[in-house]
Amino acid sequence: MYFERLLLEIHANKAGWETVKPPRCKGVSGAIHEFAFLAKDEGCYYAFDIYHDVTQEEVLRSYMKRLDTGFLTIVVNMSGRPKKEVGALADELGITIMGPADIDTFFSLNAVEQRSGQGSGLEIPL
């Protein structure tokens, strides 16, 4: 997971995003949320969770953090593509799942067109 975090940070820096360290913040509910990687671009936060094998539980966990923070949430699945039912749940909840090989592609896409910002009123990470 270290390599993927480093890769995310390198790409985020090249894209001009501000890396948030440590990658955690307080949600609207008051709960503290931790991410594998967190970056900010023009008021939009991008939160990345990294899991070895994404299940429906991990998708729901990331979704709850998304609801409480308003951050655009991306899940990196270390084992590649998720099972069909996991991918369907993620699509339904607006969670992007990608494999480690997809990180380069994610950052090569036009950020404005491909990732319509889900801005957040939360401005102060912990």
CATH number assigned to the domain comprising residue 95: 3.40.1350.10
Q: Is residue 38 part of a domain?
A: yes
Place of tokens 């023009």: 42
Identify whether 67 is part of a domain. yes
Structurally, how many domains does the chain consist of? 1
The pLDDT tens digits of the residues spanning 62-119 come to 999 999 999 999 999 998 888 899 999 999 999 999 998 888 888 876 443 445 444 4
Stated pTM of the model = 0.83
Assigned domain for 114 exists? no
Q: Collect all residues with Cβ–Cβ distance below 8 Å to 26 and sequence separation of at least 6.
A: 32, 33, 122, 124, 126
Is residue 119 one of the residues assigned to a domain? no
Asked whether residue 20 is domain-assigned, the answer is yes
